[in-house]
Amino acid sequence: MTLEVKFTKLFINGDFVDAISEKTFETRDPRTGDVIGRVAEGDKEDVDLAVKAARKAFDHGKWPRMSGYERGRIMMKYADLIDQQKEELAKLECLDAGKLLALTKVVDIEGSADMLRYYAGAADKIHGETLKMAGNLHGYTLREPIGVVGHIIPWNFPSLMFFSKVSPALAAGCTMIVKPAEQTPLTALYHAFLAKEAGIPDGVINVVTGFGSTAGASIASHMDIDMVSFTGSTAVGRKIMETAAKSNLKPVSLELGGKSPIIIFDDADIDMAVDLARTATFYNKGEACIAGSRVYVQEGIYDKFVTKVTESMKSWVVGDPFDPHVHQGPQVDKAQFEKVLSYIEHGKREGATLVTGGKPCGEKGYYIEPAIFTDVEDNRGGNRESEQYEVRISCRGSDKGLKHSEQNVEIDSSWNHLDQLLPNYRSRLSFWRL
């Protein structure tokens, strides 16, 4: 599969430009490990330029001063352009991230356009409240855009994460700097191009490609950025919150990794439970913060479930994500590939039983067989980390996860067991200033 990569430079103030340092970095095809292209490596100086453009667009530009209806109309056009280019965008995301082409087209690209339309509809529905006060006084709340926002997005859902952050910020009237993950920078640059085509004014959306330790850190610490939104690991989220507080005390919106349990009780439809557990765990090759990668099975059906889920993996095809018969593509890059394999080895060293899978596959690229472990203690390190890839089948409780799901006929029975398994995840994404 060959595909022309059209955009590899930084997008600042409506133009594609080289990094000030003129440095670039490689982005690779995870199917083969081959270089797709070289992308501009933005640094602190480039972030400064992007912030300057965004600040000018916010303080003096048209976007925050348009009516909500006008912003929504332009956002609708932006969504239409994404739909028109969905074939190319899906192929580009598949090439850069190893995601399944058919699902990427429907879930990621069409989903991104739908998300834009949703927030476009909200742009002219910004309401405050009027308060009756003592005497002849009254009070009211006025929602205003917070200002310049920095978005730092992950590599597992590049387009969806781009628009989950950019869309509400656009609707509110904010301007922004987006730093895509260095593993998957290509679709963000294409989305920036389409934003300009749609009529979004220069400086409203700026995209700085580069590394988290440089470009990302500069966004978190920048004194002229009013808010940071980040999706990624808990460890990096802590650093961003600390850096934001030490700079200008900017508010931070965090969506952080977790380790989500699936709970299956004795009265479950076991075939349905097997199918749900397999899909929830290995969807998007396990690279999802809400992957159901720990499976808790009640003792009465435990052995039967293990047998059935192991047997079901024989029909699970790992291979080229452009092939419509494939269920799972490669890990996003070599580092993630090696990290997953290290977790598998760690699990075996700690005494867990590897029932099936867990080996590299294919002659090249970053492919791994889905791994199923049993006899996993809940306090083992690999069972509590978000960036790993095995099914953990255990009957023990847990206190960590972004979400939980139950497969059970009796709802009351499920809720009686959730005290130990309630997720600690809270998400707040707000671009308003009261």
Rounded CA gap, 154 and 180, in Å? Answer: 7
Task: Name the pairing type of β-strands 24-28 and 367-368.
Answer: unpaired
Three-state SS annotation for the chain: CCCCCCCCCEEECCEEECCCCCCEEEEECCCCCCEEEEEECECHHHHHHHHHHHHHHHHHCCHHHCCHHHHHHHHHHHHHHHHHCHHHHHHHHHHHHCCCHHHHHHHHHHHHHHHHHHHHHHCCCCCCCEEECCCCCEEECCCEECCEEEEECCCCCHHHHHHHHHHHHHHHCCEEEEECCCCCCHHHHHHHHHHHHHCCCCCCEEECCECHHHHHHHHHHCCCCCEEEEEECHHHHHHHHHHHHHCCCCCEEEEECCCCEEEECCCCCHHHHHHHHHHHHHHHHHCCCCCCCEEEECHHHHHHHHHHHHHHHHHCCECCCCCCCCCECCCCCHHHHHHHHHHHHHHHHCCCEEEECCCEECCCCCEECCEEEECCCCCCHHHHCCCCCEEEEECCCCCCCCCCEEECCCHHHHHCCCCCCCCCCCCCCCCEEC
Residue range 119-126: average pLDDT? 96
- The proportion of the chain whose per-residue pLDDT surpasses 70, expressed as a percent, equals 87
pLDDT grade for 1, boundaries at 50, 70 and 90: low
Rounded CA gap, 418 and 36, in Å? Answer: 46
Structure confidence at residue 52 (pLDDT): 98
Residue range 236-249: average pLDDT? 97
26 assigned to active site: no
Residue range 18-34: average pLDDT? 97
Range with the poorest average pLDDT among 172-176, 291-295, 383-387: 383-387
Domains and CATH numbers, the chain: 10-130+145-255 (3.40.605.10), 260-406 (3.40.309.10)
Do residues 10 and 42 make contact, with C-beta atoms less than 8 angstroms apart? yes
Residues in the chain: 434
| Verdict on whether the full-model pTM lies above 0.75 | yes
- The residue type found at 393 is I
Closest C-alpha among 99, 77, 115, 385 to residue 257: 385
Rounded CA gap, 36 and 186, in Å? Answer: 10
Residue range 315-329: average pLDDT? 96
Q: pLDDT of 395-411, one tens digit each?
A: 333 333 334 444 544 44
More confident residue, 401 or 139: 139
Structure confidence at residue 3 (pLDDT): 87
Rounded CA gap, 269 and 277, in Å? Answer: 12
Bridge partner list, 374: 353, 393
- The proportion of the chain whose per-residue pLDDT surpasses 90, expressed as a percent, equals 78
pLDDT grade for 314, boundaries at 50, 70 and 90: very high
Residue range 132-136: average pLDDT? 88
Rounded CA gap, 222 and 215, in Å? Answer: 10
Range with the poorest average pLDDT among 98-107, 116-125, 367-376: 367-376
Bridge partner list, 232: 256
Residue range 149-175: average pLDDT? 97
pLDDT grade for 379, boundaries at 50, 70 and 90: low
Best-predicted range by mean pLDDT (50-64, 137-151, 381-395, 413-427) = 50-64
pLDDT grade for 153, boundaries at 50, 70 and 90: very high
pLDDT grade for 388, boundaries at 50, 70 and 90: very low
Structure confidence at residue 290 (pLDDT): 84
The active-site residue, picked from 255, 369, 390, 406, is 255
Rounded CA gap, 152 and 179, in Å? Answer: 5
Residue 422 has pLDDT above 50, yes or no: no
Rounded CA gap, 255 and 316, in Å? Answer: 30
Rounded CA gap, 286 and 272, in Å? Answer: 19
Residue 218 has pLDDT above 60, yes or no: yes
Structure confidence at residue 370 (pLDDT): 92
Residue range 346-372: average pLDDT? 93
CA dihedral 79, 81, 83, 89 (to 10 degrees): -110
Structure confidence at residue 421 (pLDDT): 47
- How confident is the prediction for the chain on average, in pLDDT? 88
Long-range contacts of 21-24 (CB under 8 A, 24+ apart): 21/45
Structure confidence at residue 403 (pLDDT): 40
pLDDT grade for 392, boundaries at 50, 70 and 90: very low
Q: pLDDT of 258-298, one tens digit each?
A: 778 899 999 999 999 999 999 999 999 999 888 887 899 99
Residue 380 has pLDDT above 60, yes or no: no
Rounded CA gap, 391 and 269, in Å? Answer: 19
